[in-house]
Amino acid sequence: MNKSRLEAFSDGVLAIIITIMVLEIKIPHGTNLAAIIPLLPIALSYLFSFIYVGIYWNNHHHLFHIVKEVNGAILWGNLHLLFWISLLPFATGWIDENHFASLPVAFYGFILLMCGASWKLLTIIIIKHEGPDSRLKDAYKSDYKTYLSIALYISGITVAWFYPIISIFFYVLIAVIWFIPDRRIENKLKEH
């Protein structure tokens, strides 16, 4: 099957997710800087979630450059990934409404963990579909970034019950790790 439809659908869903998040930022009721100050935590959490969605979009784009074709399992794996990413606006809003309380921060981490796990599952499905000559399998000889991210998500979820702000630090650290698109895929594409 041609992969262009999957890519176009994914791009559309991710664009809608970002749109939903930005609609959560309310217009200030005033014309001075004091009217904006209460919105700063909301704007920062939006920025953080926007970056996460951007990271997934960017890496998704790179991932499907190396994939030759898709099948039904890959389509379902991709939908699974999009499902978890689509919950980011809800998790972001919950953090905002409750001023970074423990449960919302832990839930946010859980959503990020499920995004990471579904990403890993999608890559496993792609490698299985492509077989022993999979360029993705060859590129992913070591998947330390994914496993490190999952460990940090679990740590962040656990720590959220005691120190939510430290959990946010873990989530930011993971975003930094993934901010630059996966060089393993770029290097594999340069070889071909």
User: What digits encode the pLDDT tens for the residues 150-179?
Assistant: 999 999 999 999 999 999 999 999 999 998
Mean pLDDT of 75-86: 98
| 96-119 pLDDT, tens digit each | 889 899 999 999 999 999 999 999
How do the domains of the chain map onto residue ranges? Answer: 4-191
Answer yes or no: are the C-beta atoms of 143 and 120 closer than 8 Å: yes
Q: How confident is the model at residue 123 (pLDDT cuts 50, 70, 90)?
A: very high
**pLDDT surpassing 90 at residue 91:** yes
Q: What's the whole-model pTM score?
A: 0.92
**pLDDT surpassing 70 at residue 192:** no
| 41-63 pLDDT, tens digit each | 888 889 999 999 999 999 999 89
First to last CA, the chain: 21
pLDDT score recorded for residue 28: 87
